[in-house]
Amino acid sequence: MDIADAIKSIGEALTSLFNWLRTNKEEQSATQIIKELKKLEKAVNAAEKMFNIFFQYFEKLSDEDKKEIEKLLEKFQENN
């Protein structure tokens, strides 16, 4: 093996390493996104349960509070 082949081999090895590092980072990012989405799903499920309990007492609220809650609920549903 001559020097040119050795340099070429080192270059190919470095290219492979950088490709692996990039792919590994992309996989870690995807894994992190999935974890965050699962946490968000749990939070939304808890919020829905809280809404169900809360709405048992909805009629006792002032009209102003009812309107505000209705707006917030609509926003919640649009984004859920």
Tens digits of residue pLDDT in 15-70: 887 788 788 777 888 888 888 889 988 988 888 888 888 888 889 999 999 899 88
- Structurally, the chain folds into a number of domains equal to 1
Residue ranges making up the domain that contains 68: 3-78
Please enumerate in sequence order all residues whose Cβ is within 8 A of that of 44, keeping only pairs 6 or more positions apart, or say none: 80
Whole-angstrom Cα distance, residue 5 to residue 45? 60
Whole-angstrom Cα distance, residue 7 to residue 39? 48
- Both structure tokens of 53: 């309990």
This prediction's pTM:
0.55
From residue 72, give the alpha-carbon distance in Å to each of 47, 68, 69. 12, 6, 5
